[in-house]
């Protein structure tokens, strides 16, 4: 904020009652039905036309919306133009790439939501990943990423290929690793760039992640949150989110916008062309074990008094780690994996199954759209994400005095345990049936 004294009215008195102030609000909203326009561009893959790399962005804005979302529209247009040029040069990706310019993003991701519903089985069976181009930059200090643990390495690998916009660093990765956007400890690896694994429930990506179990990734340039401790950039959804602000303050020279567009290009190429899909399952098991030990294990003694045990969950996560490690060793041990397209497909099918396993059609009876048992929007703040929403919801209800929620906590833990065991089985070469 600016260093002036803010005046926001007399507010509440010392007893937290409002004063006798009266406010007259004139609402001129009109309820109306309007069509929404999703624009899709498809490049059919040459080898696996039925495997979809989805790249999405909502093009609608509130007011001018340069950060949110015109800069992303420009990036998407550039990516489409680049892949179009490659296509004309005879280059066709192995897998299908689908560029999605969504409408209705500001009305609750309506465009992507309706499209997903209409194509649910196609997406559920065929989507490799969903890359979400949201804001490109709302600052120019460092990068801020959300991703499924499966795609963390994809973002790192892409960032390593791109030149840093700030010449004090060689690559975008170096800048990102050296400048944490906040001091929040998100994972077991403090030296690596931060990636948030749980997104909120508002964005287009949350539909794909939380309803269909498709791994997602999103990244933007942002400001230093230690310096400006704001949840989002101050011009967000105001008339001041303008081209002028973008050019002069947010991303002068469009350096970050350009670098991140290049990074998206590298990520899309990697997902669409690598014979083995670039998912790192061992990262998923590491993150899971870290979160279990950070968020659940400290409560073990207290929960035990209410008959809630987490021993099976901890064992399941250990088994998942072992399965993931063996699975990742296979390409170096099995030469024929490189020579057989079918064997690659079978291996990739296992990779694609991992995220989907964590979808439970009735994960939370009270919140039917939250189906991912490991990550979801928080019960207290829909716009923020939380690990283990199934557990957090029960804890929230327990904190409000609902003693019956202990049973739900137990069932939630059992549900997560079963899902993790299933993830292990799906990676095992000869699963115990």
Q: Footprint of a copy of itself on this chain (CB under 8 A)?
A: 40, 42, 44, 47-50, 98, 115, 118-122, 125, 340-342, 345-346, 349-350, 353, 356-357, 361-362, 418, 422, 425-426, 430-431, 433
List the structure tokens of 242: 């303008």
Task: Yes or no: say if 116 and 212 are a contact pair by the CB < 8 Å rule.
Answer: yes
Q: Alpha carbon 38 to chain centroid distance?
A: 21
Strand ranges of the sheet holding 195-196, from the earlier edge strand across to the other edge: 39-43, 95-102, 48-58, 127-132, 216-222, 142-147, 195-196
- Least gap, CB of 424 to a copy of itself (angstroms): 11
Helix, strand or coil, per DSSP, at residue 90: coil
Residue whose entry in the numeric block shows the structure tokens 């993790």: 420
Question: Could you give the CA distance from residue 292 to residue 310 in angstroms, rounded to a whole number?
Answer: 9
Q: Which is nearer to a copy of itself, 76 or 159 (CB)?
A: 76
- Least gap, CB of 361 to a copy of itself (angstroms): 4
- Least gap, CB of 260 to a copy of itself (angstroms): 26
- Least gap, CB of 214 to a copy of itself (angstroms): 14
Residue whose entry in the numeric block shows the structure tokens 């840093």: 164
Q: Which is nearer to a copy of itself, 115 or 208 (CB)?
A: 115
- Least gap, CB of 47 to a copy of itself (angstroms): 7
Q: Which is nearer to a copy of itself, 28 or 361 (CB)?
A: 361
Q: For 46-81, give one letter per residue: b (16+ CB within 10 A) or e.
A: eebeebbbbbbbbbbbeebbbbbbbbbbbbbebbbe
- Least gap, CB of 316 to a copy of itself (angstroms): 13
The burial class, CB within 10 Å (0-12 / 13-18 / 19+), for 4 is: exposed
Q: Which is nearer to a copy of itself, 85 or 125 (CB)?
A: 125
Question: Could you give the CA distance from residue 250 to residue 220 in angstroms, rounded to a whole number?
Answer: 12
- Least gap, CB of 69 to a copy of itself (angstroms): 22
- Least gap, CB of 375 to a copy of itself (angstroms): 18
Phi and psi at residue 138, to the nearest 5°: -120, 20
Q: What is the enclosing helix (H) or strand (E) of 80?
A: helix 71-88
Q: Which is nearer to a copy of itself, 48 or 205 (CB)?
A: 48
- Least gap, CB of 358 to a copy of itself (angstroms): 10
Q: Which is nearer to a copy of itself, 239 or 346 (CB)?
A: 346
Q: Which is nearer to a copy of itself, 23 or 342 (CB)?
A: 342
Question: Could you give the CA distance from residue 53 to residue 94 in angstroms, rounded to a whole number?
Answer: 10
Q: Which is nearer to a copy of itself, 230 or 346 (CB)?
A: 346
Question: Could you give the CA distance from residue 414 to residue 231 in angstroms, rounded to a whole number?
Answer: 34
Q: Which is nearer to a copy of itself, 41 or 174 (CB)?
A: 41
- Least gap, CB of 107 to a copy of itself (angstroms): 21
Question: Could you give the CA distance from residue 313 to residue 426 in angstroms, rounded to a whole number?
Answer: 17
- Beta strand spans in 103-230 (E): 127-132, 142-147, 195-196, 216-222
Task: Yes or no: say if 270 and 154 are a contact pair by the CB < 8 Å rule.
Answer: yes
Q: Which is nearer to a copy of itself, 193 or 213 (CB)?
A: 213
């Amino acid at each position: 904020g600016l260093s002036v004294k803010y005046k926001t009215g007399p507010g509440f008195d010392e007893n937290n009652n409002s004063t006798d102030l009266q406010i007259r609000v004139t609402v001129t909203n009109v309820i109306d039905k309007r069509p929404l326009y999703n624009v899709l561009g498809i490049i059919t893959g040459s080898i696996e036309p039925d495997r979809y790399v989805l790249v999405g962005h909502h093009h609608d804005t509130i007011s001018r919306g340069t950060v949110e979302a015109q800069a992303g529209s420009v990036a998407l247009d550039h990516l489409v133009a680049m892949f179009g040029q490659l296509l004309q040069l005879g280059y066709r990706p192995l897998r299908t790439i689908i560029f999605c310019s969504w409408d209705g993003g500001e009305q609750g991701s309506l465009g992507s939501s309706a499209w997903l519903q209409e194509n649910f089985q196609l997406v559920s069976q065929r989507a490799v990943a969903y890359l979400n181009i949201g804001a490109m930059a709302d600052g120019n200090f460092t990068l801020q990423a959300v991703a499924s643990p499966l795609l963390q390495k994809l973002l790192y690998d892409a960032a390593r290929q791109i030149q840093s916009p700030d010449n004090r660093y060689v690559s975008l990765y170096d800048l990102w690793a050296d400048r944490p956007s906040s001091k929040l400890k998100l994972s077991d690896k403090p030296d690596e760039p931060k990636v948030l694994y749980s997104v909120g429930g508002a964005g287009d990506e949350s539909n794909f992640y939380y309803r269909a179990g498709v791994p997602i990734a999103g990244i933007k340039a942002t400001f230093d949150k230690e310096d400006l401790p704001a949840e989002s950039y101050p011009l967000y959804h105001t008339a001041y989110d303008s081209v002028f602000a973008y050019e002069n303050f947010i991303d002068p020279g469009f350096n970050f916008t350009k670098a991140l567009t290049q990074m998206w290009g590298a990520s899309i190429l990697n997902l669409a062309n690598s014979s083995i899909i670039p998912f790192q399952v061992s990262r998923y098991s590491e993150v899971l074990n870290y979160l279990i030990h950070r968020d659940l294990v400290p409560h073990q003694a207290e929960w035990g008094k209410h008959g809630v045990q987490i021993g099976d969950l901890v064992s399941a996560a250990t088994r998942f780690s072992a399965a993931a490690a063996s699975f990742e060793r296979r390409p170096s041990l099995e030469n024929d994996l490189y020579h057989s397209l079918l064997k690659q497909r079978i291996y990739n099918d296992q990779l694609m199954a991992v995220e989907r396993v964590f979808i439970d059609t009735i994960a939370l009876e009270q919140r039917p759209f939250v189906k991912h048992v490991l990550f979801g929007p928080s019960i207290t703040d829909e716009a923020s994400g939380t690990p283990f929403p199934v557990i957090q919801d029960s804890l929230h209800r327990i904190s409000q005095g609902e003693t019956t929620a202990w049973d739900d906590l137990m069932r939630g833990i059992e549900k997560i345990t079963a899902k993790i065991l299933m993830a292990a089985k799906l990676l095992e070469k000869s699963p115990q049936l």
